[in-house]
Structure 1
Amino acid sequence: MNSKCEETPYFLGQRDQFVPRGLVTAHPLVIDRALGAEMWDVEGKRYLDFVGGIGVLNIGHNHPSVVAAVQAQLQKLSHACFQVVNYRPYLDLVQKLCKLVGGEEAYKAALFTSGAEAVENAVKIARAYTNRPAVIAFRGGFHGRTLLGSTLTGMSQPYKQNFGMAPEVFHTPYPNAYRGFTAEMALQALKELLATQVAPERVAAIIIEPVQGDGGFLSAPAEFLQALRGLTEQHGIVLILDEVQTGFGRTGKWFGFQHAGIQPDLVTVAKSLAGGLPISGVVGRAEIMDGPAPGGLGGTYGGNALGCAAALAVIDTYERDQLPARGEQLGARLRKGLLGLQVRYPQIGDVRGTGFMLAIELVKDDAARSPDAELTQQLIDEARSGGLLVIKCGVYRNVMRFLAPLVVEEEQIDEALDILEAALARVLG
């Protein structure tokens, strides 16, 4: 390589040669460094990062508190495996998580490595506690890429393909106000499922995202989550809130379920828990968490000491800087800008989300408001050319989602909106 302009093609050639086609990368970039809400590629071009590692970097890239905590922990202990010995960062972190989720109630937590692993273990825990086999998930939901995770996921492509499915999993519709599917209709559909496909006494758990992530940033109305909580209590079903993407300030509160004023039985956490280091967890009522017998839970890297140290620094920074509340403020600013663009461009059929977890749905100019996946991809590509990174989601891949870090500056939100507006003008004229 003789110059920087030759570096990207070289690295992308490496990718084509050595990375399987099943692993897709949204943007044809090779990133060299990042800080806060900005990234620079190997050629030195700057980008506003409104993807945040798909919701992993609510605290931003390379936050100094996280970097310092990991460096300090690395000098003491990098890994020991919690199934072998106890170590303080793990114990301190599970205590923090139990207080954040359960308050003064008796809660326990177990740590793992990925969001999908947390989901799998939440299901194991629910099945062990109830001695029931079935799990109900929602259409459009996303719960990971493992066999059970992809079975729970309520989208056929690209996640299911020909991989097969785990047994005893059922799906029911999720509320979608834009498409006229109300909370009442979703609740009735769930009751019909329980009456026709799987009896309540066979259901171990219902798992739901308070705001669907990959499914298109649809928010579950508070009344729906409240009714769901009542139904699960009535039938002895464990209610699992998948907060892998919605957790840690993304919706304007610590966790998305808090908007509905309910208390779940189990909560899965990952993504923004540790500022980019791989760690996840299941946090739940002590009696339910104790459902599996000794040896039923674990994993070699679960609760790695470096990840625990990072997570403790993230939580401390959130508390010190009141980042969940900042997320609500930033979300209001971004929402106002997106609504302004919607007025000028009717192809933006819907602006939705909760807190700083926002998205726009792109539709065609027809009576059905048909999903426009082609336009969505064109806008993503044009935005990248202008220096803004965003990605798509939704069952039909026609939703553009925004997951900027909670440390983003207001001026950077305005800059991102300007870039998006210019992209709309170039694509739509």
Structure 2
Amino acid sequence: GLVSPDEVAAVLIEPIQGEGGYVVPPRGFMQGLRKITKEHGILLAVDEVQTGFGRTGRWFAVEHFGVEPDLIATAKAIASGLPLGAIIGRSEVMSLPKGAHANTFGGNPVAAAASLATIEVIEEEGLLEHAAKLGDEIKRAFADEVGDRHHVRGLGLMIGVELLDERKKPGQYLQEVLVKAFKRGVAVIGAGFSTIRMAPPLVIPREMALKAASIILEVLRGYR
């Protein structure tokens, strides 16, 4: 049954689903969720572990929706592969008395230095703009070529192509495409039951990314 708002401390959500298939929420969804949580005094926490630090062409994916959450969880790209995670939040939420919060490996100086260097590279090399522009170009290529048969979605360099073909089981179709792409030199994995997941490094050159995209499209053409 339904839960009373008084019993809900927070709502935790990925602004774009990761393992669920790179699903971008419909227009107005995040804004509506923010409105409901504010009305009932519920914290809105977003999981930006996959989407954060430039992946979608913004520092955080939630920025695309004009929503300010109470808490952001981030990791992975924050330190370019070194083990680091962080919780970012409003001061009213994060102001805890001394001794109220602790962790075992917090504040590792090497991981922290890697994170600072990562932020510097993203800023100096214009990787947010690069991800946004290149991602749009790749999405257009897939939409023009297979958009009539498959669902192309994503933001920045977080792109999913959901394979829709009634002649094949979703999982079987996806695995066939992934294997064929790999044999042609492109290592790509799936998300969800039937979605090709494209999330190249933010530093990938345009020519390399478009070459990889063309190989995947070549594989998909074989299923017409």
Aligned to 2:78: 273
1:76-87 equivalences under 5 Å are none
Aligned mate of 2:41, from 236, 240, 243: 236
Aligned to 2:183: 385
Q: Which has the higher contact order (CA 8 A, sep 6+)?
A: 1
Aligned to 2:20: 215
Residue by residue over 1:106-154, the C-alpha shift from the partner in whole angstroms, topping out at 9 and shown as x without a partner, is xxxxxxxxxxxxxxxxxxxxxxxxxxxxxxxxxxxxxxxxxxxxxxxxx
Q: 1:248–1:254: 8 Å Cα contact kept in structure 2?
A: yes
The verdict on how the C-alpha distance between 1:222 and 1:313 changes in structure 2, with shifts beyond 3 A counting, is: farther
Residue 409 in 1 paired to residue 208 in 2? no
Residue by residue over 1:174-206, the C-alpha shift from the partner in whole angstroms, topping out at 9 and shown as x without a partner, is xxxxxxxxxxxxxxxxxxxxxx42100110000
1:254-333 equivalences under 5 Å are 254-291=59-96, 293-333=97-137
Aligned counterparts of 1:222 and 1:273: Cα–Cα separation in 2: 28
Residue 340 in 1 paired to residue 144 in 2? yes
Paired amino acid for 1:282:
I
Q: How many residues align?
A: 224
The verdict on how the C-alpha distance between 1:371 and 1:340 changes in structure 2, with shifts beyond 3 A counting, is: farther
Q: 1:362–1:373: 8 Å Cα contact kept in structure 2?
A: no
Q: CA deviation at 1:322?
A: 2.0
Aligned counterparts of 2:11 and 2:203: Cα–Cα separation in 1: 34
Aligned to 1:100: none
Q: CA deviation at 1:387?
A: 0.9
Specify the SS of the correspondent of 1:352: strand
Q: CA deviation at 1:297?
A: 2.4
Q: 1:362–1:371: 8 Å Cα contact kept in structure 2?
A: no
Residue by residue over 1:276-335, the C-alpha shift from the partner in whole angstroms, topping out at 9 and shown as x without a partner, is 1010010001121134x5334222222311110000001111111221111110101111
Aligned counterparts of 2:217 and 2:142: Cα–Cα separation in 1: 9
Q: CA deviation at 1:222?
A: 4.6
* Contiguous gaps of at least 5 residues in structure 1: 1-195
Residue by residue over 1:219-250, the C-alpha shift from the partner in whole angstroms, topping out at 9 and shown as x without a partner, is 12351111111111111101001111111111
Aligned counterparts of 1:371 and 1:246: Cα–Cα separation in 2: 29
Specify the SS of the correspondent of 1:236: coil
Pair member with larger Rg: 1
Specify the SS of the correspondent of 2:9: strand
Aligned to 1:420: 216
Specify the SS of the correspondent of 2:73: strand
Aligned counterparts of 1:371 and 1:204: Cα–Cα separation in 2: 40
Paired amino acid for 2:136:
A
Alignment RMSD (CA, Å): 1.8
Aligned counterparts of 2:127 and 2:169: Cα–Cα separation in 1: 34
Aligned to 1:226: 31
Aligned to 1:356: 157
Paired amino acid for 1:424:
L
Aligned counterparts of 2:191 and 2:120: Cα–Cα separation in 1: 31
TM-score, normalization by structure 2: 0.93
Q: 1:363–1:371: 8 Å Cα contact kept in structure 2?
A: no
* Contiguous gaps of at least 5 residues in structure 2: none
Aligned counterparts of 1:269 and 1:303: Cα–Cα separation in 2: 15
